[in-house]
Amino acid sequence: AAPAAELAEAAGGEEDEAEEEEEGAAAGGAGGVMKLAIMGLPNAGKSTLLNRLLGEERSLTGPEPGLTRDAVRASWMYGSQPVELVDTAGWIGVGDTASYDDVGGEVASMSRRAAFKSLAQVHVVLLVVDARRALSSQRVLSRREISLAHSVIREGKALVVVANKADALSAHERKVYVEALRRNLSERFLEAGHVPILQVSAREGQGVERLMPTVAELYGAWNKRVSTARLNRFVQRLSLRMVGSGMDSTIARIKFMAQVKSRPPTFNAFVSGSRQQPMPRNFEAFLAQQIREVMGFQGVPVRIWFRYKETRVERQKRLRALAASRKTLGGAAAASAAREDAE
């Protein structure tokens, strides 16, 4: 693969800089409230972290797992950016709810549903994990934490992993733990790029000052739009850079590319060939990573939809389906008119 620095230089230039200013202004002008969720397993320290961010006791805290039963909402200003913070109940597994309350898990089940609802509404998620696991377990992330991270990325949200209670580890233990955590995330969540990992102690306040700058940076990238002209220059220059690499013929299939939406950044790539000649999955991951590095989308999910040339058979099938749909709608309209006349 071509080095990111060289690709960035290739995509640069005075014209690109002017476009970057325009694009940045568009992203910054999105306005509205940045919605942030604090999620994780019970007793990972989510409520303590929220209290530290707000400087007040907004959530119940204590040693009992699952102490926070409901999502807690709080409004806050980070500079000039309004923020809505959501501290969810602990992320309880489906099979574990019965052990978290004295009514057969009903309260815990309601809390879990509230957590899912919170995820659908937010923009950036802080996934709080207990760094002390490094002292007693071979797993840097539990199955439930992996499942939660998958849910966040599948929903197209920006993700920050917060390794809480890191003050319980020595400097060497922290280094080993974070390296293992970063490796685990990179292997499992290619579509999200380099997920930021922050080491903190919510109880002591260590490292907490880095949270909001990181969140704000991700939120900006999540909202960002890139001009079509700049994207297609990037594709052309990437194609030139990759001549002889084995990927040059695949890149050459891209005839046109455009960003169709942000939140998360989503791109249409119109390619030669039909669906019977799909673009390789590894190329999709490669292209998404190059877009992140060159266009400034690091740390957020990037989605690419390949649009293939329609074959004659596919076109005929689509036209038949369209005609049938119109016929059905026309029949329904006629029946409705007949009923009105009868009345």
Share of the chain above pLDDT 70, in %: 71
**DSSP bridge partners of 34:** 83
| Strands ordered across the beta sheet of 254-261 | 254-261, 266-271, 303-307
Question: What's the topology of domain 1-30+225-309?
Answer: GMP Synthetase; Chain A, domain 3 (3.30.300)
pLDDT at position 6 is: 43
Tokens of 133: 């696991």
Span(s) in the chain for CATH 3.30.300.20: 1-30+225-309
Task: Sort strands 254-261 and 266-271 into parallel, antiparallel or unpaired.
Answer: antiparallel
Span(s) in the chain for CATH 3.40.50.300: 32-223
Tens digits of residue pLDDT in 177-225: 999 999 888 888 876 668 999 999 999 999 999 999 999 999 999 999 9
**Residue in 83, 80, 87 with CA at minimum distance from that of residue 58:** 87
Spatial neighbors of 107 by CB under 8 A, at least 6 apart, are 69, 100, 101
State whether residue 85 is helix, strand or coil: strand
CATH number of 32-223: 3.40.50.300
Tens digits of residue pLDDT in 107-156: 445 455 656 676 888 999 999 999 998 777 667 888 889 988 998 998 99
Dmax (CA) of the chain: 84
Spatial neighbors of 182 by CB under 8 A, at least 6 apart, are 194, 197
